[in-house]
Structure 1
């Protein structure tokens, strides 16, 4: 089990916030992958730069893909750059992996395909472990979930996070805020364009 996979499972549950944006969740999933890569010493965080190390044996296919995606040339990339690059459509990839493993049923197309997806095996160990991490308030998982809007709580205290985890979770919050600003600007621009065509 990985932090990103657990976050995807939690986001797929019926208790998750129905307003979760796929872009926000993708950024949080990329942050979750990064936390696991740091914990496994696949990458070291120096200031806000990701310095890759020797890749260890990784069983999870998506986390192995994330490890292979690390940039290995100086000056290396920042955490924010990683989130934006790796996070592109990442929620959809995790959704597909959960469906392929029979952990959730295929969802009908909607704004948030993770929402109210019924697990095909509600007693599956992966589902129980993810729910346990979430319910016990595991700091990194809860922080990333709050950043993505999976929970209704707007903010989650950083208590319990390591320094590196704090940097990653904080950067996810910043990236989500920036993405929200982009969406708002696009909405305003679209409304202005529509008004022009209506002659208002």
Structure 2
């Protein structure tokens, strides 16, 4: 399993207690894919630029799709640009894929936290593996969950990720999430101002 898929599983598993914003999770999933593609040797980082390597199948449909989507011309793409481009609708894509491969099932009477509809995880080796990483406090997984807003980052986990590639990717995820929140806040202010104008008539 990949970090991105494990993150999607954990998000579904914990969302009844702490709902997840689709946009936040999508950006975190795109960040998780960067980690997975680094591990698969499909890319390397040059400062904050994503430099693709020769493509090779990873065995994961969405991760192969991500690898195929990498910009292969200089000056290449920044991590944050990748997060915005790849992250669009990514949480829904992972929920769909979990259902496609039989890791979730439709349920009645429960509201799905990530999109319109109802779903729940089934007992599976993939779910148990994700839960093991989660319970063990695997630093990258917990840091991405904290960034997406459904987990509190433990202090010792932050120390494990200080410096290097992990810190670069997580900083880009954090910056993108801050920008998304700023967009949301602007929209709230603009909507409130629009409502005030109409009240004046």
Decide: shared fold, TM above 0.5. yes
Q: Tell me what 2:93 maps to.
A: 93
Question: How far did residue 113 of structure 1 move?
Answer: 3.3
Determine the C-alpha separation between the residues in 2 that align with 1:143 and 1:126. 20
Give 1 or 2: higher helix fraction.
2
Encode CA deviations 1:65-86: one digit per residue, 9 max, x unaligned. 0000000000001000000000
Determine the C-alpha separation between the residues in 1 that align with 2:88 and 2:181. 15
1:112 is the counterpart of 2:114: yes
5+ residue gaps, structure 2: none
The two structures, once aligned, show a CA RMSD in angstroms of 2.3
Q: Tell me what 1:79 maps to.
A: 79
Encode CA deviations 1:3-35: one digit per residue, 9 max, x unaligned. 000000000114665332100000000000010
Larger RCO of the pair (alpha carbons < 8 Å, separation 6+): 1
Q: Tell me what 1:190 maps to.
A: 191
Q: Would you say how many aligned residue pairs link Structure 1 and Structure 2?
A: 197
**Contact 2:106/2:118 (CA < 8 Å) preserved in 1?**
no
Q: Tell me what 1:56 maps to.
A: 56
Determine the C-alpha separation between the residues in 1 that align with 2:195 and 2:19. 25
**Contact 2:48/2:79 (CA < 8 Å) preserved in 1?**
yes
SS in 1 for 2:104: coil
Normalising by the residue count of structure 1, what TM-score does the alignment of the two structures yield?
Answer: 0.90
SS in 2 for 1:128: helix
Determine the C-alpha separation between the residues in 1 that align with 2:193 and 2:127. 45
**Contact 2:111/2:118 (CA < 8 Å) preserved in 1?**
no
Q: Bigger CA drift: 189-198 or 155-164?
A: 155-164
Question: How far did residue 100 of structure 1 move?
Answer: 1.5
5+ residue gaps, structure 1: none
Encode CA deviations 1:121-170: one digit per residue, 9 max, x unaligned. 32x1000000000110111111101000121x167642323721111112
1:10 is the counterpart of 2:28: no
**Contact 1:14/1:116 (CA < 8 Å) preserved in 2?**
no
